[in-house]
Chain A
Amino acid sequence: MKFSRLIIQIFLVVAVVTSLILSFFIWTNTARYQRGRDVDVSTSDVDKNKIPIDQVISPTQVIWQDGKDQRLIYNNEDNISMNIQKIIKNWEFDNFKRVFTKDGARYQRMIQRKNAIQLVYPTNISSQTLGYLIGDKEMQKSPDNRFNRIIFTVNNSKDNYIYLGNDSTYSVYRAKVSNASSAPILKLARKSNIDLPVRFQMMKHGIVTFYTEPIKLKTYSYVLNEKQDSEYTTSLFDTDSSDIVTSTDGNIYSYNVGESKRLVSDHAKGELTFSDYTDTSVPKDWLTFFQRGYKKATNIQSSVSNLRLYNANWKEKTLIYREYVEGFPIFKKSEFGSIKISFSRNGSSESFLNKVLEVPVPSDQNSVTLKSTTSIMKSLETAGYSPNDVQKLEIGYQWTNEEDQNDVVDLEPTYYIKINDHWRSFENWTNESAEEE
């Protein structure tokens, strides 16, 4: 009697322990399984046609200090930045440690280092995000540092570090790198066919890339695709078209699914805004922020395009994407770029334009020579804008001659300046041309 009871008790203990072990395995395993699925987002069959995430979140400028001077390099047949990223994927990194912070003078020396390559992102990203993009699990788990520059020396065997620089806090982080060689990077840099002398200038609102000489840039033409509202409703609502209630008010068309989702399309401006009131969670970390933004952005614009993450505002939880041509952003007529995504407790919203650049065509316009940035700053000052007013300044492409031929648009380079939180072209601020006479 007693013996059989002992057996039952032993079995009971074994059963309880087994259930605990199994639960533990399932818990840890599910986590692994879900992460595996996340990685699969870019490779699985359904999403194969989407722009890969490492292309959307990618450095847009490559700066090479070759020992003599600093230049922005680009290859309009083979993207240097993407190729360098491919090489970096094979490097092995130690943990990042902060070298210094809030030290402007040291930061300036850092970004002007000799024999160095810099990859510059248009906005701050985070080291965990970088770890995710280059497939480095360790980096993905280590503390999350914000940065917008990746700097490493070439031709310097004593410096085995890779540096991450943050323009807004003047901080630098570094990590030891192994299994890396500068030879393939230099080979790519030498293949560049656009080569513009630059200088990084520290200004009140941050660091601005100054083009020290007048620069000649090509104009481009693209075939436009103007999408119908129905193309968006199918992908955004993810429901039967019979559930969608449509209403119109002049040029404003609204599409609703119950009280939860709404798409408003302004046919006069070609702007659309989608609100999802069920999507009320706010991303808790930068990587999730970018992943969710990527998913939404590629759902709107899934075809082959040069969409890049342009601005990430963590405080307001907004992401802005722009299309790029030859390493320079395209400024459309909207204030928000190509796509703007915001997350909030009240639901997420996505604003975008219905005109998408699809196919490049040979341009019949001549190349444009832009003034040097120094003379642009002088003209701004004459027009009443002090250098301290300039929040950002960069070269971008503007849409022109859209009206001549409905399906083809010309892209012309010019300077864009952000003052008082508004992006406008140099012509708009000063009524002067940015072109060299």
Chain B
Amino acid sequence: MDFRRIEIIFLVVFLSLDAFLLVSFHNSQQVISNSTSGVTSTVTDMRKRNISFGKLDKTTGNAYYLGAQPDNVLASNISQLRGQEVQYNQTTHKITSTLTDPISITSSNKVTKLDKFLKNKTNIIKGKAYEYAPQLSSKTSIVYAETSDLGDMYDKTGQIVFSVANNRVISYTQTYVNNLQILHEKQATKSERDVITTLYSNSEIPNNSKISYANMAYTKLLTAKNSTIYIPVWFITIHNKDSKVDTIKKVNAFTGNIIKTSTNGDDYSNE
């Protein structure tokens, strides 16, 4: 009789042990699946919070550290310009020009009209080296960014900014980076998805907003030894649907660090 009781006690003990083992086994399985789906859950979490965005690109790229020295290529070509009043600043290496005949534009034809304007040597020096950058443009200014086979440049040192008033382009400023030099071997850059999830987890993306642009471009990091150093930076435009305000967030594409400075997309150095 006693032996039977011992058997029952053993049975109960082993059954509860089994139950415990089952639960812990189940838990360990769950941990595995959690660790692999971390990023996916961030993305679904963002959708839940009414943040809209297109498909996020997972592919990582490569980019360089680039360097350039200040250069007077703009100054030496000023004589080719016609139909405008040009000023050149020796220290900032910048052209400021007022057009004698302003160009009238509409929101639908502004790009084609300005593209055509840029192609003519007598209108703009090295105009073919620039491309329209909608992310940097606003109602009062249209920005063309310098491009090369190394990539786009979103920086005050390499762009044309057209000023618009009453649907007419009245003037522009121009800077140009000549002879970009590769300073260091190719290095991996963060993917679009990496930077957007980083921004989200750092509470940089408000609820009920839209990611309207995500571009990687070179921008000035610092000046040293009379050279300007450029690094690849992700420019992410976030449109807040409540306040209707656009903000540009910048993320260092090499390190994935968020660059916290001004919100006006074209430059983050203190210039």
Interface residues of A, Cβ cutoff 8 Å to B: 5, 8-9, 11-12, 15-16, 18-19, 22-23, 25-26, 29-30, 33, 36-37, 40, 44-45, 48-49, 75-79, 221, 223, 303-304, 326, 359-364, 405, 407-408
Measured between beta carbons, the chain B residues less than 8 angstroms from A405 are 225
Measured between beta carbons, the chain A residues less than 8 angstroms from B229 are 223, 359-361
Can you list 6 residue pairs at the A/B interface with Cβ under 8 Å? Answer: A5-B4, A8-B8, A11-B11, A19-B18, A45-B38, A49-B255
Contact indicator B22/A22 (Cβ below 8 Å): yes
Interface pairs A-B: 9 shortest CB-CB? A15-B14, A22-B21, A360-B183, A362-B67, A361-B224, A360-B184, A362-B227, A78-B186, A12-B11
Is B85's CB within 8 Å of the partner chain A? no
**Complex Cα gap A75–B184 (Å):** 10
One of B11, B182, B224, B257 near A223 (C-beta < 8 A): B224
One of B25, B183, B197, B221 near A25 (C-beta < 8 A): B25
One of B15, B25, B38, B187 near A44 (C-beta < 8 A): B38
Is B24's CB within 8 Å of the partner chain A? yes
Is B64's CB within 8 Å of the partner chain A? yes
| Residues of chain B at interface, number, CB under 8 A | 48
Contact A364-B183, Cβ < 8 Å, known A8-B4, A26-B25, A304-B255: no
Is B35's CB within 8 Å of the partner chain A? yes
Measured between beta carbons, the chain B residues less than 8 angstroms from A79 are 185-186
Measured between beta carbons, the chain B residues less than 8 angstroms from A49 are 255-257
**Complex Cα gap A358–B8 (Å):** 70
Q: Which of B168-190 contact A (CB under 8 A)?
A: 181-187, 190
Q: Give a binary string over B57-88; 1 marks a CB under 8 Å from any A CB, 0 the rest.
A: 00000101101010000000000000000000
- New A-B pairs, 15, CB < 8 Å, besides A77-B185, A78-B186, A360-B183: A8-B11, A12-B14, A15-B14, A19-B17, A26-B21, A33-B28, A37-B35, A45-B38, A45-B39, A48-B190, A77-B64, A221-B224, A304-B187, A359-B65, A359-B231
**Complex Cα gap A326–B183 (Å):** 11
Is B117's CB within 8 Å of the partner chain A? no
Measured between beta carbons, the chain A residues less than 8 angstroms from B69 are 362
Interface residues of B, Cβ cutoff 8 Å to A: 4, 7-8, 10-11, 14-15, 17-18, 21-22, 24-25, 28-29, 31-32, 35, 38-39, 62, 64-65, 67, 69, 181-187, 190, 194, 197, 201, 221-222, 224-227, 229, 231, 254-257
Closest CB in chain A relative to B58 CB, distance in Å = 12
Determine the residue in chain B with the shortest Cβ distance to A83: B186
Measured between beta carbons, the chain A residues less than 8 angstroms from B11 are 8, 11-12, 15
Measured between beta carbons, the chain B residues less than 8 angstroms from A23 are 21
Closest CB in chain B relative to A56 CB, distance in Å = 14
Contact indicator B32/A33 (Cβ below 8 Å): yes
Closest CB in chain A relative to B254 CB, distance in Å = 5
Determine the residue in chain A with the shortest Cβ distance to B197: A45
Interface centre among B186, B226, B231, by most A CB within 10 Å? B186
Closest CB in chain A relative to B9 CB, distance in Å = 10
Closest CB in chain B relative to A211 CB, distance in Å = 21
Measured between beta carbons, the chain B residues less than 8 angstroms from A326 are 185
Closest CB in chain B relative to A193 CB, distance in Å = 11
Contact indicator B18/A304 (Cβ below 8 Å): no
One of A9, A22, A33, A40 near B18 (C-beta < 8 A): A22
Closest CB in chain B relative to A407 CB, distance in Å = 7
One of B32, B65, B185, B222 near A78 (C-beta < 8 A): B185
Determine the residue in chain A with the shortest Cβ distance to B186: A78
Closest CB in chain B relative to A147 CB, distance in Å = 26
Determine the residue in chain A with the shortest Cβ distance to B22: A22
Contact indicator A9/B7 (Cβ below 8 Å): yes
Contact indicator A408/B225 (Cβ below 8 Å): yes
Contact indicator B32/A361 (Cβ below 8 Å): no
Contact indicator A361/B25 (Cβ below 8 Å): no
Contact indicator A26/B24 (Cβ below 8 Å): yes
Measured between beta carbons, the chain B residues less than 8 angstroms from A18 are 14, 18
Closest CB in chain A relative to B269 CB, distance in Å = 13
Contact indicator B221/A15 (Cβ below 8 Å): no
Measured between beta carbons, the chain A residues less than 8 angstroms from B190 are 48
Measured between beta carbons, the chain A residues less than 8 angstroms from B67 are 360-362
Closest CB in chain B relative to A29 CB, distance in Å = 6
Contact indicator B185/A48 (Cβ below 8 Å): no
Measured between beta carbons, the chain B residues less than 8 angstroms from A303 are 255
Measured between beta carbons, the chain A residues less than 8 angstroms from B221 are 359
One of A16, A362, A364 near B181 (C-beta < 8 A): A362
Determine the residue in chain B with the shortest Cβ distance to A40: B35
Measured between beta carbons, the chain B residues less than 8 angstroms from A362 are 67, 69, 181, 183, 225, 227
Measured between beta carbons, the chain A residues less than 8 angstroms from B7 are 5, 8-9, 12
Measured between beta carbons, the chain B residues less than 8 angstroms from A45 are 38-39, 197, 201
Contact indicator A12/B183 (Cβ below 8 Å): no
Contact indicator A36/B35 (Cβ below 8 Å): yes
**Complex Cα gap A30–B25 (Å):** 9
Contact A408-B224, Cβ < 8 Å, known A8-B11, A22-B25: yes
Closest CB in chain A relative to B2 CB, distance in Å = 13
Determine the residue in chain B with the shortest Cβ distance to A32: B32
Contact A364-B186, Cβ < 8 Å, known A22-B21, A29-B25, A304-B255: no
Closest CB in chain B relative to A166 CB, distance in Å = 29
Measured between beta carbons, the chain B residues less than 8 angstroms from A44 are 35, 38
Contact A29-B184, Cβ < 8 Å, known A5-B4, A44-B35: no
**Complex Cα gap A29–B31 (Å):** 11
Measured between beta carbons, the chain A residues less than 8 angstroms from B255 are 49, 303-304
Measured between beta carbons, the chain A residues less than 8 angstroms from B17 are 15, 19
Determine the residue in chain A with the shortest Cβ distance to B257: A49
Contact A36-B32, Cβ < 8 Å, known A15-B18, A18-B18, A49-B255: yes
Contact indicator B32/A48 (Cβ below 8 Å): no
Closest CB in chain B relative to A433 CB, distance in Å = 24
Closest CB in chain B relative to A356 CB, distance in Å = 13
**Complex Cα gap A36–B65 (Å):** 34
Measured between beta carbons, the chain B residues less than 8 angstroms from A75 are 185
Closest CB in chain A relative to B37 CB, distance in Å = 12
Measured between beta carbons, the chain B residues less than 8 angstroms from A360 are 65, 67, 183-184, 229
Measured between beta carbons, the chain A residues less than 8 angstroms from B185 are 75-79, 326
**Complex Cα gap A187–B240 (Å):** 48
Determine the residue in chain B with the shortest Cβ distance to A46: B38
Contact A361-B227, Cβ < 8 Å, known A8-B11, A25-B25: yes
